[in-house]
Chains A and B, each alone.
Chain A
Amino acid sequence: NAGVIQTPRHKVTGKGQEATLWCEPISGHSAVFWYRQTIVQGLEFLTYFRNQAPIDDSGMPKERFSAQMPNQSHSTLKIQSTQPQDSAVYLCASSLDQLGGRGAETLYFGSGTRLTVL
């Protein structure tokens, strides 16, 4: 079991460019989460999929961020027109979702993508 795989590990973009981050959850896990990690804000929830369906994107900045999960084996987080304040480590996590979305699941995190916007 390779764990949650995130690519690329590092991404540098210029202000205004687009960034796409990839996540491959653990096989058999039906829940996928995206979190953003910064020194100031810590770990912030962005969005959540269950069985590929978007369930909650309440943490996503509405205008430039979007996430998709086209199949069981990968999810993408896309940031359009990147800004310096988007610089952060973006973490993807998956869980077994044995409780059917009723909470208290253990999350398994990838190593993250460090996004730097110049």
Chain B
Amino acid sequence: GDSVTQTEGQVALSEEDFLTIHCNYSASGYPTLFWYVQYPGEGPQLLFRASRDKEKGSSRGFEATYDKGTTSFHLRKASVQESDSAVYYCALNSGGSNYKLTFGKGTLLTVTP
């Protein structure tokens, strides 16, 4: 079945540090990949998505590139801010008749000023 692996369970950074959260997936077909962000007391919200190999998704300074060869969709940001502190989820939908989103375990990002 479909699966998403996020390597980092927690990441602690200082403001202006570079962020990388690794996401690897396993899916049948040609999945659509997503990054969702969840702030305390809220539900996950879409950060961005990508549907094709080499497509770059981006929003609010975050970006990730769909890499079918390495089955990866790593999240990066050049300079994090304290307001970026949240839980980040990588997710996929394998398309076709599959309507479910399969989520990774999430990565808690804590940014200190």
Partners in one complex: yes
- Size of the chain B interface, CB-CB below 8 angstroms: 25
Given contacts A42-B106, A43-B89, contact A105 B99 (CB under 8 A): yes
With contact pairs A103-B32, A103-B93, A105-B93 given, residues A45 and B100 touching in the complex (Cβ less than 8 Å): yes
Given contacts A91-B43, A111-B41, contact A103 B99 (CB under 8 A): yes
- Distance in angstroms from B46 CB to nearest chain A CB is 5
| A106, B49: Cβ atoms closer than 8 Å | yes
Check A111 against B42 for contact (C-beta < 8 Å): yes
- With A4-B43, A91-B43, A112-B43 as contacts: A107 and B97 at CB distance below 8 Å: no
Asked if A26 lies at the interface with its beta carbon under 8 angstroms from chain B, I say no
Query: Chain B's nearest CB lies how many Å from the CB of A107?
Result: 6
A50 to B105, CA, bound (A): 26
Given A45-B100, A103-B99, CB of A109 within 8 Å of CB of B43: yes
Scan residues 42-65 of chain A and give those whose CB is less than 8 A from a CB of chain B.
Answer: 42-43, 45, 48, 50, 55-56
Residues of A within 8 A of B96 (CB): 102-103
Contact, CB under 8 Å: A111 / B43: yes
In the complex, chain B residues whose CB is within 8 Å of the CB of A33: 100
Looking at A4, A42, A43, A93, the one whose CB has the most chain B CB atoms below 10 A away is A43
> 7 extra interchain contacts, Cβ-Cβ under 8 A, other than A106-B34, A111-B42?
A4-B43, A43-B89, A45-B100, A104-B51, A106-B46, A106-B49, A112-B43
Give 14 pairs: A residue, B residue, CB < 8 Å, sorted on A. A42-B103, A43-B106, A48-B99, A55-B99, A56-B100, A91-B43, A103-B32, A103-B96, A104-B49, A104-B93, A107-B46, A108-B45, A109-B42, A110-B43
- Could you list which residues of chain A lie within 8 angstroms of chain B, going by C-beta atoms? 4, 31, 33, 42-43, 45, 48, 50, 55-56, 91, 93, 101-112
